[in-house]
Amino acid sequence: MSGAGVFLAVGLAVIAQAGSAAPAYASGSREQFCDGSQCVNAWGGGPDVNTYTPGASNNFFYEIITYTGNYGLQYAGSGANSGDCVGDLNNSSTDARAGLYSNCGDTQPAWGANLREVGCSNGGVAFYDIHWKGYLGPQTTGNGVAFYLNKPTPYCFQITLF
């Protein structure tokens, strides 16, 4: 096969992967993102993204590489919001409230669904939202508290694989 044929074959594989229902995962397992006692949770199966205690089924997400080369948090639970990604609630470009919306693996990710992973000194990760120029984090502490995408400082999560 010529060099051009190899390039074309690789290019088609990337395009097929980016547009498919099964995006490229940064890890191969469902993950739970917690600060110790509070986790990212698809509240009631979504679309709201709130805090909840570790181990709940609605805490499970995939960390994926998006079409744009950034990271996304894709809900790995069941129900109507399964496969949706953490971004702006209801895809509102004017509200930094986090919610599940659309598939961040698509060529046009939802507002707020493009994240950059930032390492934390405790060995965890924080997620910087490119649209909001802030970090994913809860408004306050406690169960059922809303997450926002515009926190001014990194909110560090420990990752648990399931």
Rounded CA gap, 26 and 16, in Å?
17
Quick: pLDDT tens for 134-149.
999 999 999 999 999 9
Among 27-31, 131-135, 153-157, the least confident range: 27-31
CA nearest neighbour of 35 among 53, 17, 13, 47: 53
Beta strands in 66-124 (DSSP E): 71-75, 85-88, 98-101, 115-119
Element (H, E) at 6: helix 3-19
Rounded CA gap, 15 and 48, in Å?
31
Quick: pLDDT tens for 40-65.
999 999 999 999 999 998 999 999 98
Rounded CA gap, 112 and 138, in Å?
15
* Domains along the chain with CATH numbers: 23-161 (2.80.10.50)
DSSP 89: G
Q: How many CB atoms lie within 10 A of CB 57?
A: 13
